């Protein structure tokens, strides 16, 4: 899902698929069918016009979130731009956006290196992230850049008028005293998208030629002011920019191209500033700018307040600035601390203040990385020749990583929901509503959401298209199951109407999985989207499973059975049965599907490998594959490229050599009998260091597996072939907790492992955070070091729930 090296574009149309499946014995049978297929296809072409648009036909006109009647409530404004270091916007398809940039006068390079705006790992900041954020009223972030601490915070003030006001504060100081005083330049901007019905204009003091504020007006917000308050004696320079920018993804460039070099008169030093004039295009003054930037340069400490207010409010004396701001921030911090302890109980569990601060930061980054996006995805179904646009829609969703994945991911969001629903069920139900509004008439939800210019700018074109044949683990069922287990009363008393409206969509989602991902024989399921014909991948990826390169059958075929998918469907049917009952809908079908899929005899017949005594996938497989440089005699392929060589005819069998996360799924989703031999064996296997056990958590693939830490192509490093991932570790700890509680023969054993594993994970994630300043995408299994993208405060933040023992 994540490394995005290769785009999985396998199944373009049905005919292709059959061609690709020619390695199967079944293909010979298909050949006889060719004339029939051709005729059928001709008939299908006729109805294609209709079928083609189905992919982009919404499930229903009746949306869960009605954006024409937006609720300008407490959640209207927020730090909903997770992809920038700091910025505020509304939950509105087209909204004014504001944001922060900064640079040091001494280190800004031509070309713009050194100008901070969008979160990127290339900036190599020592750390950044929300230390406290409640998703609703306020947030406090700490950014450390070259030993300089930028504290960015905001408080919202909801007076019930057009979404309320807010103040943001940027306080810059040295983290170590006695450092040579650096000059920092802060830039704060407001921009409005072209499609916003409104405008902004600068308020200039013409005597000093300085920007004192900005006035604006939009249909949704009415008239508003953005004013600035520089609280410092150390300001050496102030300048501004009033211009137009083609779109939001272009803001950095628009600022860069307008930088000017000025000479500091007293010290005869060069400085980089903004032009401080309203720019002209074609010799005409811009009358409708869409980007206005204030620049303040000063020595540390330096502080800037940015105040957003609606016109004509009576309570001017209660302005959220200065001491009043600090007082309010203090109040919100205290409320946050109290609520945090109430929910997670870390203090009473004996954690140190350091550990609790870590947990607050991990949680705050999860909730503080919620974004609001608007746009349309590129989608593709087997009936479309070329990708087409999905309908335009909003998405309110957390993101896995602000620097690397600042957009919505379907299966990640289910894990995020576990944390969020503990804190604020209103937010979580709103997020669920937005995702389920993205479901089409067939019941499909695209697995990656790249909406709007800002989001799109971060993704290479080739990865943009979402394929309608492809699933992704339906983790929202874990979230819903969690809510039903822990928050049922609140759900039923506050969100009953929503649940009723959600139900047909959940139903359709389930049906889509149960229909399109079905296997060849009853009771089996198969992830679609693997490449049938590839001679460069060591083991064709299964991006749809969420576990990208986790090794499956070496030769994708329609006879495959995927154990993890089967378990996901079992969980889904169980949750659907419960929800159906609550809503007095027919639940019989779901109950019987759950009963069928959780029948241990059938499960074991289909997936328990008698050879290794482990759960496994089944399919056309051989272990005897390797990547090899072709001899120079081969003309078709560049001689430098490695290709896969198959040294043995694959045959249908259990994929015994891939013991790892997927082998645990019947246990993870709590389907196996608590007194079964299978449970006993899994508990034994869990603890073996030559398999998954490490001091830092469970690695994804057994150390003894031939695919352990193997590159998938020459350029595609291992991802789910060894590293420790926290979402699956969380599921394992939760399952151990479950089997330690329910009656059965192995309670004590489960409990013993529970404590050890939980402890290992928590210790390492915290240790690595202290060492590096970051929470990571995954952890390497030899020393436990953080790897991959960072900060990764999506599912790695589940560490907080491990600390709190909430499963």
Which residues would be at the binding site for ligand NAG (CB under 6 A)? 151, 171, 173, 194, 231, 244, 246-247, 301, 303, 514, 573, 589-590, 593
Q: To the nearest whole angstrom, how small is the minimum distance from the Cβ of residue 387 to ligand NAG?
A: 20
Which is nearer to ligand NAG, 326 or 634 (by Cβ)?
A: 326
Given the residues 548, 559, 656, 780, select the one marked as catalytic. Answer: 548
Q: To the nearest whole angstrom, how small is the minimum distance from the Cβ of residue 120 to ligand NAG?
A: 24
CA within 13 Å, CB half, 280:
4
Given the residues 220, 305, 777, 780, select the one marked as catalytic. Answer: 777
Which is nearer to ligand NAG, 247 or 277 (by Cβ)?
A: 247
In 522-641, the DSSP E strands lie at 608-609, 614-615, 618-621, 625-629
Which is nearer to ligand NAG, 375 or 788 (by Cβ)?
A: 375
- On whether the CB atoms of residues 307 and 226 are closer than 8 A, the answer is yes
Determine whether 176 is an active site residue.
no
Q: To the nearest whole angstrom, how small is the minimum distance from the Cβ of residue 171 to ligand NAG?
A: 4
Q: To the nearest whole angstrom, how small is the minimum distance from the Cβ of residue 90 to ligand NAG?
A: 19
Q: To the nearest whole angstrom, how small is the minimum distance from the Cβ of residue 577 to ligand NAG?
A: 8
Q: To the nearest whole angstrom, how small is the minimum distance from the Cβ of residue 560 to ligand NAG?
A: 17
CA distance linking residue 14 with residue 382, whole number of Å: 7
Task: Give the pair of three-digit tokens for residue 4.
Answer: 């995005």
Which is nearer to ligand NAG, 40 or 173 (by Cβ)?
A: 173
Which is nearer to ligand NAG, 490 or 589 (by Cβ)?
A: 589
CA distance linking residue 376 with residue 390, whole number of Å: 5
- On whether the CB atoms of residues 18 and 27 are closer than 8 A, the answer is yes
CA distances from 222 to 74, 174, 198, 204 (A): 17, 40, 9, 21
* Contacts for 726 with CB less than 8 Å, ≥ 6 apart: 697, 761, 765, 778, 779, 795, 796, 798, 799
CA distance linking residue 571 with residue 579, whole number of Å: 12
Which is nearer to ligand NAG, 288 or 634 (by Cβ)?
A: 288
| Helix (H) or strand (E) segment spanning residue 736 | helix 726-741
Whether the CA torsion 631, 635, 637, 641 is positive or negative: it is positive
Q: To the nearest whole angstrom, how small is the minimum distance from the Cβ of residue 604 to ligand NAG?
A: 19
Q: To the nearest whole angstrom, how small is the minimum distance from the Cβ of residue 514 to ligand NAG?
A: 4
Which is nearer to ligand NAG, 195 or 611 (by Cβ)?
A: 195
CA distance linking residue 555 with residue 569, whole number of Å: 24
Task: Give the pair of three-digit tokens for residue 161.
Answer: 């008028």
Which is nearer to ligand NAG, 75 or 94 (by Cβ)?
A: 94
Strands 466-467, 378-380: pairing is parallel
Determine whether 548 is an active site residue.
yes
- Find the angle CA(737)-CA(742)-CA(743) to the nearest 5 degrees: 140
Strands 165-174, 302-310: pairing is antiparallel
- Find the angle CA(395)-CA(385)-CA(548) to the nearest 5 degrees: 55
CA distances from 662 to 200, 254, 556, 682, 731 (A): 54, 48, 17, 12, 12
Where b means 16+ CB within 10 Å and e means fewer, 610-639 reads: eeeebbbbbbbbbbebebeebeeeeeeeee
Q: Strand, helix or coil at 100?
A: strand
Instruction: Count other Cβ atoms within 10 Å, centred on residue 38.
Output: 10
Q: To the nearest whole angstrom, how small is the minimum distance from the Cβ of residue 453 to ligand NAG?
A: 8
SS3 content of the chain, % helix, strand, coil (to 5): 35, 25, 40
Strands 235-243, 277-278: pairing is parallel
Q: To the nearest whole angstrom, how small is the minimum distance from the Cβ of residue 328 to ligand NAG?
A: 13
Which is nearer to ligand NAG, 515 or 637 (by Cβ)?
A: 515
Which is nearer to ligand NAG, 305 or 656 (by Cβ)?
A: 305
The DSSP code sequence of 329-355 is HHHHHHHHHHHHHHHH-TTTTT--HHH
Task: Give the pair of three-digit tokens for residue 40.
Answer: 């059928």
Residues carrying an active site annotation:
548, 777
């Amino acid at each position: 899902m994540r490394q995005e090296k290769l785009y999985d574009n396998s199944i373009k149309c049905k005919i292709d698929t059959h061609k690709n499946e020619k390695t199967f014995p079944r293909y010979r049978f298909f050949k006889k069918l060719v004339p029939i297929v051709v005729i059928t296809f001709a008939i299908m072409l006729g109805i294609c016009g209709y079928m083609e648009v189905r992919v982009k036909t919404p499930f229903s006109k009746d949306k869960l979130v009605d954006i024409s009647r937006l609720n300008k409530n407490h959640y209207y404004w927020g730090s909903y731009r997770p992809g920038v270091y700091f910025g505020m916007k509304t939950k509105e398809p087209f909204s004014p956006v504001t944001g922060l940039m900064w640079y040091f006068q001494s280190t800004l390079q031509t070309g713009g290196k050194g100008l901070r705006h969008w979160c990127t790992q290339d900036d190599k900041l020592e750390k950044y992230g929300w230390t406290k954020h409640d998703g609703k009223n306020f947030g406090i972030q700490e950014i450390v850049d070259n030993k300089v601490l930028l504290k960015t915070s905001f408080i919202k003030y909801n007076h019930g008028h057009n979404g309320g006001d807010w103040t943001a504060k940027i306080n810059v100081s040295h983290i170590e005293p006695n450092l040579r005083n650096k000059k920092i330049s802060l830039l704060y901007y407001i921009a409005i998208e072209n499609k916003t019905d409104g405008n902004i204009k600068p308020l200039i003091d013409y005597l000093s030629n300085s920007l004192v504020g900005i006035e604006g007006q939009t249909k949704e917000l009415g008239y508003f002011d953005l004013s600035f308050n520089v609280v410092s004696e150390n300001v050496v320079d102030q300048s501004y920019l009033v211009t137009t920018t083609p779109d939001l993804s272009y803001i950095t460039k628009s600022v860069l191209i307008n930088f000017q070099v000025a000479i500091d008169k007293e010290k005869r030093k060069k400085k980089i500033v903004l032009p401080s004039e309203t720019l002209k295009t074609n010799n005409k003054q811009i009358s409708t700018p869409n980007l206005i930037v204030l620049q303040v340069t000063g020595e540390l400490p330096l502080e800037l307040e940015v105040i957003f207010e609606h016109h004509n409010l009576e309570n001017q004396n209660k302005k959220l600035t200065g001491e009043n701001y600090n007082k309010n921030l203090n109040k919100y911090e205290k409320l946050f601390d109290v609520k945090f302890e109430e929910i997670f109980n870390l203090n009473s569990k004996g954690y140190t203040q350091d550990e609790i601060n870590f947990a607050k930061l991990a949680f705050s980054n999860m909730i503080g990385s919620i974004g609001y996006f608007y746009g349309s995805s590129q989608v593709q179904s087997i009936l479309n020749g070329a990708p087409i646009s999905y309908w335009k829609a909003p998405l309110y969703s957390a993101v896995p990583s602000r620097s690397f994945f600042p957009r919505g991911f379907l299966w990640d969001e289910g894990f995020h929901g576990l944390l969020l629903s503990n804190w604020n069920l209103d937010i979580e139900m709103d997020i669920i509503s937005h995702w389920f509004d993205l479901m089409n008439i067939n019941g499909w939800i695209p697995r990656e959401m790249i909406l709007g210019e800002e989001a799109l700018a971060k993704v290479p074109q080739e990865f943009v298209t979402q394929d309608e044949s492809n699933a992704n683990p339906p983790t929202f069922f874990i979230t819903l199951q969690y809510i039903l287990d822990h928050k049922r009363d609140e759900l039923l008393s506050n969100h009953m109407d929503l649940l009723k409206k959600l139900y047909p969509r959940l139903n359709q989602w389930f049906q889509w999985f149960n229909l399109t991902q079905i296997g060849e024989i009853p009771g089996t399921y198969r992830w679609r989207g693997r490449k049938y014909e590839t001679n460069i991948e060591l083991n064709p990826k299964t991006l749809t499973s969420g576990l990208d390169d986790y090794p499956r059958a070496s030769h994708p075929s329609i006879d495959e059975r995927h154990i993890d998918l089967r378990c996901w469907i079992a969980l889904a049917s169980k949750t659907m049965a419960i929800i159906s009952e609550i809503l007095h809908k027919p639940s019989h079908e779901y109950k019987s599907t759950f009963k069928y899929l959780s029948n241990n005899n059938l499960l074991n017949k289909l997936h328990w490998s008698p050879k290794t005594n482990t759960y496994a996938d089944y399919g056309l497989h051989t272990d005897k594959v390797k990547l090899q440089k072709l001899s120079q005699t081969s003309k078709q392929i560049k001689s430098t490229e490695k290709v896969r060589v198959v040294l043995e005819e694959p045959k249908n069998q259990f994929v015994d050599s891939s013991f790892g996360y997927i082998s645990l799924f019947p246990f993870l989703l709590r389907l196996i009998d608590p007194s079964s031999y299978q449970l006993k064996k899994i508990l034994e296997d869990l603890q073996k260091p030559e398999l998954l056990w490490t001091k830092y958590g469970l690695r994804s693939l057994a150390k003894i597996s031939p695919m352990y830490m193997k590159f998938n192509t020459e350029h595609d490093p291992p991802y789910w072939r060894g590293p420790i991932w926290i979402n699956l570790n969380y599921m394992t700890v939760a399952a151990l907790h479950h089997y330690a509680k329910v009656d059965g023969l192995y309670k004590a054993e489960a409990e013993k492992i529970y404590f050890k594993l939980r402890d290992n994970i928590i210790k390492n994630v915290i240790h690595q955070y202290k060492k590096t300043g970051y929470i990571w995408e995954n952890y390497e299994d030899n020393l436990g070091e953080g790897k991959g993208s960072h900060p990764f405060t999506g599912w790695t933040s589940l560490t907080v729930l491990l600390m709190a023992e909430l499963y």
